[in-house]
Amino acid sequence: MWSVEDVARDAARRQGRGLTVEQVAEKVAEAARREWETQQQLHAPAETETGPFATDPEHLAQLWAAKHAEWLRIATLLETSGEQAYDPEQDARGVAWAQERQARRQGAVDRHAAWARKRQDAKDELRAQVWLSADTSRRLRAIAARAGLQPEQVIAQLADHARMDEDGGVAVAPFTPHLVEES
Protein backbone atom coordinates (compact mmCIF):
# COMPACT_ATOMS: atom_id res chain seq x y z
CA MET A 1 0.00 0.00 0.00
CA TRP A 2 2.90 2.36 0.70
CA SER A 3 5.63 3.19 -1.77
CA VAL A 4 9.28 3.18 -0.73
CA GLU A 5 9.05 6.98 -0.55
CA ASP A 6 6.10 6.71 1.85
CA VAL A 7 8.01 4.29 4.07
CA ALA A 8 11.11 6.53 4.03
CA ARG A 9 9.10 9.65 4.85
CA ASP A 10 7.22 7.97 7.67
CA ALA A 11 10.43 6.54 9.17
CA ALA A 12 12.21 9.89 8.97
CA ARG A 13 9.30 11.71 10.62
CA ARG A 14 9.23 9.19 13.48
CA GLN A 15 13.00 8.89 13.93
CA GLY A 16 13.77 12.54 13.28
CA ARG A 17 11.65 14.10 16.01
CA GLY A 18 13.94 16.26 18.12
CA LEU A 19 17.14 15.45 16.22
CA THR A 20 19.62 18.29 16.00
CA VAL A 21 21.18 19.55 12.77
CA GLU A 22 24.29 17.46 13.50
CA GLN A 23 22.26 14.31 14.18
CA VAL A 24 20.30 14.79 10.96
CA ALA A 25 23.61 15.17 9.13
CA GLU A 26 24.65 11.80 10.61
CA LYS A 27 21.38 10.28 9.34
CA VAL A 28 22.10 11.71 5.86
CA ALA A 29 25.61 10.19 5.92
CA GLU A 30 24.31 6.82 7.11
CA ALA A 31 21.59 6.77 4.45
CA ALA A 32 24.13 7.69 1.76
CA ARG A 33 26.41 4.86 2.90
CA ARG A 34 23.56 2.35 3.01
CA GLU A 35 22.32 3.51 -0.40
CA TRP A 36 25.80 2.97 -1.85
CA GLU A 37 26.10 -0.48 -0.20
CA THR A 38 22.74 -1.68 -1.46
CA GLN A 39 23.53 -0.43 -4.97
CA GLN A 40 26.78 -2.41 -4.85
CA GLN A 41 24.87 -5.54 -3.78
CA LEU A 42 22.62 -5.17 -6.82
CA HIS A 43 25.62 -5.36 -9.15
CA ALA A 44 27.44 -8.09 -7.24
CA PRO A 45 27.01 -11.78 -8.08
CA ALA A 46 24.03 -13.30 -6.32
CA GLU A 47 25.33 -14.44 -2.95
CA THR A 48 22.22 -13.58 -1.05
CA GLU A 49 19.97 -16.17 0.47
CA THR A 50 16.74 -17.06 -1.20
CA GLY A 51 13.66 -18.10 0.65
CA PRO A 52 10.48 -16.77 2.16
CA PHE A 53 12.28 -14.33 4.48
CA ALA A 54 15.02 -13.14 2.11
CA THR A 55 14.96 -9.43 1.34
CA ASP A 56 14.60 -8.20 -2.20
CA PRO A 57 17.90 -6.42 -2.95
CA GLU A 58 16.28 -4.12 -5.52
CA HIS A 59 13.56 -3.06 -3.09
CA LEU A 60 16.15 -2.51 -0.35
CA ALA A 61 18.24 -0.33 -2.70
CA GLN A 62 15.18 1.72 -3.63
CA LEU A 63 14.26 2.10 0.04
CA TRP A 64 17.70 3.39 1.03
CA ALA A 65 17.73 5.78 -1.94
CA ALA A 66 14.36 7.14 -0.76
CA LYS A 67 15.59 7.40 2.85
CA HIS A 68 18.70 9.26 1.68
CA ALA A 69 16.55 11.70 -0.31
CA GLU A 70 14.22 12.26 2.66
CA TRP A 71 17.03 12.86 5.16
CA LEU A 72 18.60 15.30 2.68
CA ARG A 73 15.26 17.11 2.43
CA ILE A 74 15.03 17.36 6.22
CA ALA A 75 18.63 18.60 6.47
CA THR A 76 17.87 21.26 3.85
CA LEU A 77 14.68 22.22 5.69
CA LEU A 78 16.59 22.72 8.95
CA GLU A 79 19.26 24.73 7.15
CA THR A 80 16.81 27.05 5.41
CA SER A 81 14.51 27.48 8.41
CA GLY A 82 17.30 28.07 10.89
CA GLU A 83 15.75 25.58 13.33
CA GLN A 84 18.16 23.70 15.58
CA ALA A 85 16.07 20.52 15.87
CA TYR A 86 13.59 18.75 13.61
CA ASP A 87 9.95 18.98 14.56
CA PRO A 88 7.75 16.92 12.21
CA GLU A 89 4.73 19.09 13.03
CA GLN A 90 6.54 22.18 11.68
CA ASP A 91 7.43 20.38 8.43
CA ALA A 92 4.59 21.50 6.12
CA ARG A 93 5.54 19.15 3.28
CA GLY A 94 5.96 16.22 5.71
CA VAL A 95 2.59 16.94 7.31
CA ALA A 96 0.92 17.07 3.87
CA TRP A 97 2.52 13.76 2.87
CA ALA A 98 1.47 12.15 6.16
CA GLN A 99 -2.11 13.35 5.68
CA GLU A 100 -2.09 12.02 2.11
CA ARG A 101 -0.83 8.62 3.33
CA GLN A 102 -3.50 8.57 6.03
CA ALA A 103 -6.21 9.41 3.48
CA ARG A 104 -5.00 6.61 1.18
CA ARG A 105 -4.90 4.21 4.13
CA GLN A 106 -8.42 5.18 5.19
CA GLY A 107 -9.61 4.73 1.60
CA ALA A 108 -8.10 1.25 1.52
CA VAL A 109 -9.70 0.40 4.87
CA ASP A 110 -13.08 1.65 3.63
CA ARG A 111 -12.77 -0.33 0.38
CA HIS A 112 -11.84 -3.45 2.33
CA ALA A 113 -14.82 -2.99 4.67
CA ALA A 114 -17.17 -2.60 1.68
CA TRP A 115 -15.69 -5.72 0.11
CA ALA A 116 -16.13 -7.65 3.38
CA ARG A 117 -19.78 -6.51 3.62
CA LYS A 118 -20.36 -7.58 0.03
CA ARG A 119 -18.83 -10.99 0.76
CA GLN A 120 -21.00 -11.35 3.86
CA ASP A 121 -24.08 -10.49 1.83
CA ALA A 122 -23.01 -13.06 -0.76
CA LYS A 123 -22.73 -15.68 2.00
CA ASP A 124 -26.36 -15.03 2.86
CA GLU A 125 -27.41 -15.66 -0.73
CA LEU A 126 -28.22 -19.11 -2.01
CA ARG A 127 -27.17 -20.41 -5.38
CA ALA A 128 -28.69 -23.70 -6.36
CA GLN A 129 -28.61 -25.90 -9.40
CA VAL A 130 -31.95 -27.60 -9.98
CA TRP A 131 -32.60 -30.53 -12.27
CA LEU A 132 -36.14 -30.56 -13.58
CA SER A 133 -37.97 -33.11 -15.69
CA ALA A 134 -38.42 -32.24 -19.35
CA ASP A 135 -42.12 -31.45 -18.91
CA THR A 136 -41.54 -29.20 -15.86
CA SER A 137 -38.62 -27.56 -17.61
CA ARG A 138 -40.73 -26.75 -20.69
CA ARG A 139 -43.47 -25.21 -18.53
CA LEU A 140 -40.92 -23.14 -16.60
CA ARG A 141 -39.33 -21.89 -19.82
CA ALA A 142 -42.74 -20.97 -21.23
CA ILE A 143 -43.67 -19.03 -18.07
CA ALA A 144 -40.31 -17.26 -18.09
CA ALA A 145 -40.57 -16.38 -21.79
CA ARG A 146 -44.10 -15.05 -21.33
CA ALA A 147 -42.91 -12.82 -18.45
CA GLY A 148 -39.72 -11.76 -20.27
CA LEU A 149 -37.54 -13.36 -17.60
CA GLN A 150 -34.91 -16.04 -17.29
CA PRO A 151 -36.09 -19.35 -15.77
CA GLU A 152 -33.84 -18.71 -12.74
CA GLN A 153 -35.63 -15.41 -12.10
CA VAL A 154 -39.02 -17.13 -12.11
CA ILE A 155 -37.77 -19.76 -9.63
CA ALA A 156 -36.38 -16.98 -7.38
CA GLN A 157 -39.72 -15.17 -7.40
CA LEU A 158 -41.54 -18.45 -6.79
CA ALA A 159 -39.36 -19.09 -3.75
CA ASP A 160 -39.90 -15.51 -2.57
CA HIS A 161 -43.69 -15.99 -2.63
CA ALA A 162 -43.63 -19.44 -0.99
CA ARG A 163 -44.95 -19.70 2.59
CA MET A 164 -44.90 -22.56 5.05
CA ASP A 165 -47.92 -23.31 7.24
CA GLU A 166 -47.91 -24.77 10.79
CA ASP A 167 -48.02 -28.33 9.51
CA GLY A 168 -44.90 -27.84 7.33
CA GLY A 169 -46.85 -27.61 4.09
CA VAL A 170 -45.52 -25.20 1.48
CA ALA A 171 -47.97 -23.06 -0.46
CA VAL A 172 -47.56 -20.38 -3.07
CA ALA A 173 -50.34 -17.89 -3.57
CA PRO A 174 -51.02 -16.97 -7.19
CA PHE A 175 -48.70 -14.22 -8.45
CA THR A 176 -47.51 -12.79 -11.74
CA PRO A 177 -43.77 -13.07 -12.40
CA HIS A 178 -42.33 -9.68 -13.30
CA LEU A 179 -39.02 -8.01 -14.00
CA VAL A 180 -37.42 -6.82 -10.77
CA GLU A 181 -35.11 -3.80 -10.83
CA GLU A 182 -31.82 -4.57 -9.06
CA SER A 183 -30.51 -2.02 -6.62
pLDDT exceeding 90 applies to what percent of the chain?
71
Mean pLDDT (the chain) is 89
Tell whether pTM > 0.75.
no
Q: What is the pLDDT of residues 11-50, one digit of tens each?
A: 999 999 999 999 999 999 999 999 999 998 888 766 656 6
- Distance, CA of 62 to CA of 40 (rounded, Å): 12
Identify the band that residue 126 occupies on the pLDDT scale cut at 50, 70 and 90.
Answer: confident
Q: What is the pLDDT of residues 74-123, one digit of tens each?
A: 999 999 999 999 999 999 999 999 999 999 999 999 999 999 888 887 77
How large is the average pLDDT for residues 170-174? 93
Identify the band that residue 138 occupies on the pLDDT scale cut at 50, 70 and 90.
Answer: very high
pLDDT of the residue at 118: 86
- Distance, CA of 156 to CA of 102 (rounded, Å): 44
Helix axes 57-81, 92-124, angle to 10 degrees: 140
How large is the average pLDDT for residues 121-136? 84
Identify the bridge partners of residue 20 per DSSP, sorted by sequence position: 85
> Residue 182 above 70 pLDDT?
no
> Residue 179 above 90 pLDDT?
no
In 3D space, the residue among 23, 25, 59, 63 whose CA is nearest the CA of residue 42 turns out to be: 59
